[in-house]
């Protein structure tokens, strides 16, 4: 089967630090609860995991933000917790409380018993979604595949759900580091095969979400998060369909560690809003592209204040190649969809060469 040519490739070009006609933009969590059409699809599907497990529904919600806005990339609709779910941990969502696991893992015995899930078997529904979305996109924009970092997945698996302080995982890390390494090793292997399967099914770029790596000390970040993301990057398929498959590494709160993140061989770093784009570019801009970095809370402001902040960030990055505009973390359910439009259109308007 011959694939349609990519009509808009400025996202992939920017990740390769090539010239673009305007700065590409997408939003983390762009398909989600701030969109009324998403809430309707979720109701039709029955639950969040039903949306993920059904390729037609996953495709429908992936495309919803692209129907509304001139976004430059689509991101697979799924979740980072599909892997621990496929390991048999019993993922469920309590209304308004986020993800939970029926059987958290807290001992060496628990962790030894965890299987490495088959990317084409237990996780085959995700690959189905990737193929279905890629086909429906028909070359409109590139499709991003993703996974959580081993450290970030481990926080949910040990704590049993979301956490503020990661007390149980950190306690285990300082008392029995070898047990945590056993878990992270299994996760790195699972994530690598999962991401490679996404690439084979049509993902054209990959983002690794290390949402909670920033909660670690500098040495602990290297030992318990970065090391395992490095392993994943070393094992990923880097070229497919005759084109490079860029890898974006996003550690929220990782601004102090950019040099080491860039040394992993990734193609781009995702930045949160705590760092200046200019500073980040001077430190690592000859090695990797940069993605970011507007505070999602700016979208609560007025259209004028949103436009002003977009302009500031573009100026902060300056007239160089290698910028993908994004929020510094996911868009929240409370954002007015019209404000997301103002944001996306302002990026294109102010950056048009």
Q: Name the residues annotated as catalytic.
A: 29, 33, 42, 79, 156
Q: How does strand 268-270 pair with strand 98-101?
A: unpaired
Please, which residue, 94 or 239, has the CB nearer to ligand 1CP?
Answer: 94
- Of 77, 151, 166, 317, the residue at the interface with ligand 1CP (CB under 6 A) is 77
Using CB under 6 A, which residues numbered 108 to 147 contact ligand 1CP? 146
Q: Does 14 bind ligand 1CP (CB under 6 A)?
A: no
Q: Does 99 bind ligand 1CP (CB under 6 A)?
A: yes
Backbone φ, ψ for residue 92 (5° rounding): -145, 160
Please, which residue, 115 or 333, has the CB nearer to ligand 1CP?
Answer: 333
Minimum Å gap between C-beta 343 and ligand 1CP is: 15
- Taking the C-alpha atoms of residue 218 and residue 212, their distance in angstroms, rounded to an integer, is 13
Please, which residue, 326 or 351, has the CB nearer to ligand 1CP?
Answer: 326
DSSP single-letter state for residue 34: T
Backbone φ, ψ for residue 129 (5° rounding): -65, -45
Minimum Å gap between C-beta 182 and ligand 1CP is: 22
Q: Does 101 bind ligand 1CP (CB under 6 A)?
A: no
Minimum Å gap between C-beta 109 and ligand 1CP is: 26
Q: With contacts defined by CB under 6 A, name the span among 23-31, 190-198, 241-249, 253-261 that binds ligand 1CP.
A: 23-31
Backbone φ, ψ for residue 100 (5° rounding): -140, 150
Please, which residue, 148 or 285, has the CB nearer to ligand 1CP?
Answer: 148
96: region left, alpha or beta (phi > 0 left; psi from -120 to 50 alpha):
left
- Of 12, 31, 247, 269, the residue at the interface with ligand 1CP (CB under 6 A) is 31
Please, which residue, 209 or 287, has the CB nearer to ligand 1CP?
Answer: 209
- Taking the C-alpha atoms of residue 335 and residue 298, their distance in angstroms, rounded to an integer, is 10
Minimum Å gap between C-beta 353 and ligand 1CP is: 28
Minimum Å gap between C-beta 188 and ligand 1CP is: 17
Closest CA to 262 of 248, 273, 243, 252: 248
Q: Which two tokens stand for residue 228?
A: 């395992």
Please, which residue, 157 or 277, has the CB nearer to ligand 1CP?
Answer: 157
- Taking the C-alpha atoms of residue 39 and residue 42, their distance in angstroms, rounded to an integer, is 5
Q: Does 30 bind ligand 1CP (CB under 6 A)?
A: yes
Q: Is the peptide bond before 248 cis (omega within 30 degrees of 0)?
A: no
User: Binding mask 199-218 vs ligand 1CP (x if CB under 6 A, - otherwise)?
Assistant: ----------x-x-------
Q: How does strand 289-294 pair with strand 268-270?
A: parallel
Helix, strand, or coil (residue 98): strand
Helix (H) or strand (E) holding 210: strand 205-210
Closest CA to 203 of 104, 77, 51: 77
Closest CA to 247 of 210, 295, 213: 210
Minimum Å gap between C-beta 140 and ligand 1CP is: 16
- Taking the C-alpha atoms of residue 177 and residue 296, their distance in angstroms, rounded to an integer, is 35
Q: With contacts defined by CB under 6 A, name the span among 9-17, 73-81, 100-108, 295-303 that binds ligand 1CP.
A: 73-81
Minimum Å gap between C-beta 304 and ligand 1CP is: 27
- Of 6, 8, 22, 33, the residue at the interface with ligand 1CP (CB under 6 A) is 33
Q: Does 162 bind ligand 1CP (CB under 6 A)?
A: yes
- Taking the C-alpha atoms of residue 139 and residue 145, their distance in angstroms, rounded to an integer, is 15
Q: How many Å separate Cα 170 from the centre of its chain?
A: 23
Task: By CB under 6 A, name the binding residues for ligand 1CP.
Answer: 28-33, 42, 48, 75, 77, 79-81, 98-99, 146, 162, 209, 211, 330
């Amino acid at each position: 089967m011959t694939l349609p040519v990519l009509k808009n490739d400025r996202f992939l070009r920017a990740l390769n630090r090539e010239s673009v006609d305007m700065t590409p933009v997408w939003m983390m969590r762009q398909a989600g609860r701030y969109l009324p059409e998403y809430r309707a699809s979720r109701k039709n599907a029955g639950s969040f995991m039903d949306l993920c497990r059904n390729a037609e529904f996953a495709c429908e919600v992936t495309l919803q933000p692209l129907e509304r806005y001139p976004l430059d990339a689509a991101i697979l609709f799924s979740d980072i917790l599909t892997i621990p779910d496929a390991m048999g941990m019993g993922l469920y969502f309590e209304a308004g409380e986020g993800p939970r696991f029926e059987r958290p893992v807290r001992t060496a015995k628990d962790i030894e018993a965890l299987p490495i899930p088959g990317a084409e078997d237990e996780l085959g529904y995700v690959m189905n979604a990737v193929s279905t979305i890629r086909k429906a996109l028909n070359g409109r924009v590139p499709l991003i595949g993703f996974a959580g970092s081993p450290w970030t997945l481990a926080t949910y698996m040990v704590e049993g759900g979301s956490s503020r302080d990661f007390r149980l995982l950190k306690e285990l890390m300082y008392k029995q580091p070898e047990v945590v390494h056993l878990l992270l090793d299994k996760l790195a292997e699972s994530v690598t095969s999962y991401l490679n399967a996404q690439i084979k099914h049509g993902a054209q770029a990959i983002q690794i979400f290390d949402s909670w790596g920033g909660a670690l000390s500098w040495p602990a970040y290297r030992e318990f998060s970065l090391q395992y993301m490095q392993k994943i990057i070393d094992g990923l398929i880097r070229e497919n369909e005759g084109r490079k498959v860029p890898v974006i590494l996003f550690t929220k709160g990782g601004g102090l560690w950019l040099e080491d993140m860039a040394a992993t061989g990734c193609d781009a770093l995702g930045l949160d809003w705590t760092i200046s784009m200019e500073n980040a570019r001077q430190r690592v801009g000859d090695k990797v592209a940069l993605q970011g970095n507007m505070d999602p809370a700016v979208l609560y402001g007025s259209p004028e204040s949103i436009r002003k902040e977009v302009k500031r960030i573009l100026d902060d990055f300056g007239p160089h190649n290698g910028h993908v505009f994004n929020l510094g973390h996911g868009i929240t359910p409370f954002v007015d969809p019209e404000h997301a439009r103002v944001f996306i259109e302002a990026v294109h308007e102010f950056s048009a060469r």
